[in-house]
DNA sequence: TGTACATCAGTGAACGCGCGTTCACTGATGTAC
DNA sequence: TGTACATCAGTGAACGCGCGTTCACTGATGTAC
């Protein structure tokens, strides 16, 4: 057995165990929330001794960071796949399908959603690794609207006063996510913001005892929001 | 000194100390977040022994509940006062002024916002006392839109398909908050949801490294959202 | 193929820490006569 | 007004607990010749 292959045998086991650790940690998240995530509890669930985890993650925060990156990547992947499953000229359907997929992912993984879009974990400072992963959902949604605009499929939304100091932000976001600047840019930012914000409202219990037909509300809201950007559904 | 007066002397001190405890706890929230709120730390800050707090709040959760009710009441009061400061027939200005006030309160009290609108505290179950307090902001915003509608100042928003199972929810909300049902009802729910959701996005760091001109974005977004409900600004 | 050595995974004990809550207590404040 | 008693606020010690992280270690797996 050549050296490189046996090296990678050990390396493969390592990668698998890292994944098992993250899976166990994810399961723990549901019980105690991000702030209470405990290395000792994770080790217990895996039948390991706490100090063994330090072979894989150098601290509790490093493990949290790995979970955050996973979550961003997974929800981003869900969005991308949903978008890719639809005729790419049918912008209205792309919008509805993709936003539904993001919401569905959130409902299936509430703790991971809270980890990335919920209140920040006190004392935890996200390293820059997470920034790129965080952009995928935003940019998937942004590209749908941007491509619709370039295809001439967004009706003008009428004159909307744009404060001067907002223009640079909108231009930067247009570059980053493929949206288009003013005035559709503001509408895009609002639309995408509503997608994330409304999912959090639902997940964090703000609809409790008030709205039961949540999927129906979602579809109606998405139609309304699309219309606001100028995308007729 | 009559019995009732001296009774209330002791009672007054008690009320003041309860308030001091909540104030100290609120200050602690900023450092460790709701999940990490520690009775012992609060006691330390007050120069008391931990067990003394049990004279005033029977458990950590009871103290959390008191903080939650305070927060709902304070942000609700901020909304009400802002709304009351504007000519009540100028619905556009009422909407902008009141939503700005809610956002301003949130920026000034980020931890208390997170306490009521952020990810739920794991293991904490909010008692029913909090429900009524939670409705004030929603209902203040709802009444602005509902009164505008009854004054004939909302343009029709065009036909929007409303799924049948959503109607009961919208009617219940209309009763509770003074909005009006379909199709403006959906738009109201979306508009109010955006107010809460977008503030959380901003506060929880989703705009970091992306949007700097946040107050300008707010005003532009509120104009757009108002237009979506049919309220021209 | 076989042996000597280096690398690595996982163990077990220990560190110092902070937590919520209970309990018997002391002393001050208020009440009843 | 003065005294005997009851109520209450706050103390201090203790309970049992779980935490993140460190360190010296054992034994297995891989490497070099």
The per-residue pLDDT for range B118-156, each reduced to its tens digit, is: 999 988 888 888 988 999 999 999 999 999 999 999 988
Question: Does B82 lie at the interface with A, CB-CB under 8 angstroms?
Answer: no
User: Nearest C-alpha of chain B: how many angstroms from A219?
Assistant: 9
Neighbours of A54 (CB within 10 A): 12
Q: Which of A193, A222, A229 to mutate to test the interface with B (most CBs of B within 10 A)?
A: A193
Residue closest to A189 by CA, chosen among B95, B198, B191, B104: B198
Distance, CA of A154 to CA of A151 (rounded, Å): 8
C-alpha radius of gyration, chain A, whole number:
21
Q: Which nucleotide is nearest to A52 (CA to C1')?
A: C10
Distance, CA of A141 to CA of A58 (rounded, Å): 35
Residue closest to A58 by CA, chosen among A39, A44, A45, A77: A39
Q: A169 to chain B: which residues are within 8 Å by CB?
A: 210-213, 217
Measured in whole angstroms, the distance separating CA A79 from the mean position of its chain's CA atoms is 8
Question: Does A200 lie at the interface with B, CB-CB under 8 angstroms?
Answer: yes
> What pLDDT sits at residue A5?
47
> What pLDDT sits at residue A196?
98
Give the B window 27-46 contacts with A, CB below 8 Å.
31-33, 35-36
Distances, alpha carbon A32 to alpha carbons A110, B57, B179, in Å? 13, 24, 37
- Closest residue, CA to C1' of D29: A10
Distance, CA of A200 to CA of A119 (rounded, Å): 10
pLDDT confidence tier of residue A7, bands split at 50, 70 and 90 = low
Return positions of chain D under 7 A from a protein CB. 8-14, 18-24, 29-32
- Closest residue, CA to C1' of D21: A51
Contact A22, A70 (CB under 8 A): yes
- How many Å does it take to go from CA A123 to C1' D26? 37
> Do the chains contact at B224 and A196, CB–CB below 8 Å?
no
> Do the chains contact at B122 and A160, CB–CB below 8 Å?
no
* CB neighbour list of residue A164: distance below 8 Å, 6 or more residues apart: none
pLDDT confidence tier of residue B2, bands split at 50, 70 and 90 = very low
> What pLDDT sits at residue B7?
56
Where do we find the tokens 């949007």? B211
> What pLDDT sits at residue A101?
98
Question: Does B175 lie at the interface with A, CB-CB under 8 angstroms?
Answer: no
pLDDT of residue B228 exceeding 50, the answer is yes
> What pLDDT sits at residue B1?
36
B49 touches strand D (CB under 7 A): yes
C-alpha radius of gyration, chain B, whole number:
21
Task: Kindly report the three-state secondary structure assignment for every residue of A36-54.
Answer: HCCHHHHHHHHCCCHHHHH
- For B83-122, how does the pLDDT look when each residue is reduced to its tens digit (9 = 90+)? 999 999 999 999 999 999 999 999 999 999 999 999 999 8
Q: A37 to chain B: which residues are within 8 Å by CB?
A: none
Look up the pTM and report it.
Answer: 0.95
Give the B window 141-160 contacts with A, CB below 8 Å.
157-158, 160
Contact B42, B53 (CB under 8 A): yes
- How many Å does it take to go from CA A101 to C1' C27? 66
> What pLDDT sits at residue A186?
93
- For A90-122, how does the pLDDT look when each residue is reduced to its tens digit (9 = 90+)? 999 999 999 999 999 999 999 999 999 999 998
């Amino acid at each position: 057995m050549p050296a490189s292959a046996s090296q990678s045998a050990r390396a493969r086991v390592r990668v698998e165990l890292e994944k098992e650790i993250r899976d166990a940690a994810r399961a723990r998240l549901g019980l105690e929330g991000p702030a209470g995530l405990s290395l000792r509890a994770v080790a217990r669930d895996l039948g390991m001794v706490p100090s063994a985890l330090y072979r894989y993650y150098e601290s509790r925060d490093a493990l949290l960071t790995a979970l955050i990156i996973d979550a961003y990547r997974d929800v981003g992947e869900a969005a991308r796949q949903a978008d890719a499953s639809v005729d790419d000229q049918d912008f209205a359907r792309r919008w509805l399908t993709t936003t539904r997929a993001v919401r569905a992912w959130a409902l299936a993984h509430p703790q991971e959603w809270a980890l990335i879009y919920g209140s920040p974990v006190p004392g935890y400072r996200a390293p820059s690794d997470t920034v790129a992963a965080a952009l995928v959902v935003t940019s998937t949604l942004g590209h749908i609207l941007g491509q619709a605009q370039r295809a001439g499929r967004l009706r003008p939304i009428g004159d909307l006063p744009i404060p001067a100091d907002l223009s640079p932000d909108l231009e930067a976001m247009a570059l980053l996510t493929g949206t288009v600047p003013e005035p559709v840019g503001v509408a895009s930012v609002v639309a995408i913001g509503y997608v994330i914000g409304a999912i959090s409202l639902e997940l964090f219990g703000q609809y409790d005892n008030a709205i039961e037909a949540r999927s129906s509300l979602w579809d109606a809201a998405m139609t309304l929001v699309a219309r606001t950007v100028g995308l007729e559904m």
